[in-house]
Amino acid sequence: MPVPHPMCEAWRGPVLENVHLGHAVVCDATGEIVQAWGDPNAVMLPRSSCKMIQALPLITSGAAGAFGLGQAQLALACASHNGATIHTHRVQAWLSDLGLGDHDLRCGPQMPRDAEERASLHAQGTTPCQWHNNCSGKHAGFLTLNKHLGGGADYHQPDHLVQQACLTAFEDTTGQDTLGYGIDGCSAPNFATTVHGLARAMAWFASAADRNDVASNAASDLVQAMCAYPELVAGEGRACTELMRAMDGRVAIKTGADAVFVAIIPEFKMGVALKIVDGTMRAAECAIAHILIGLGVLDAHHPAAQKYRTPDITNWNGIICGGVKPADGFIV
For 13-53, write each residue's pLDDT tens digit.
Answer: 999 999 999 999 999 999 999 999 999 999 999 999 999 99
β-bridge mates for residue 191, sequence order: 181
Domain boundaries, the chain: 41-275
CB 273 within 8 A of CB 265: no
CA distance 66 to 53: 20
Whole-number Å distance between alpha carbons of 245 and 251: 9
Give the pLDDT band of residue 2 (cuts 50, 70, 90).
confident
Tell me the pLDDT of the chain averaged across its residues.
97
Mean pLDDT of 207-228: 98
94 Rama class: left (phi>0) / alpha (psi -120 to 50) / beta: alpha
Q: 165-201: per-residue pLDDT in tens?
A: 999 999 999 999 999 999 999 999 999 999 999 999 9
| Contact criterion met (CB below 8 Å) for 22 and 40 | no
Q: Is 104 exposed, middle or buried (0-12, 13-18, 19+ CB in 10 A)?
A: middle
Q: Extract the runs of DSSP E, i.e. beta strands, from 60-192.
A: 181-183, 189-191
State the Cα–Cα distance between residues 119 and 123, nearest whole angstrom: 6
Task: Tell me the one-letter amino acid at 328.
Answer: D
In contact, 77 and 63? CB cutoff 8 Å: no
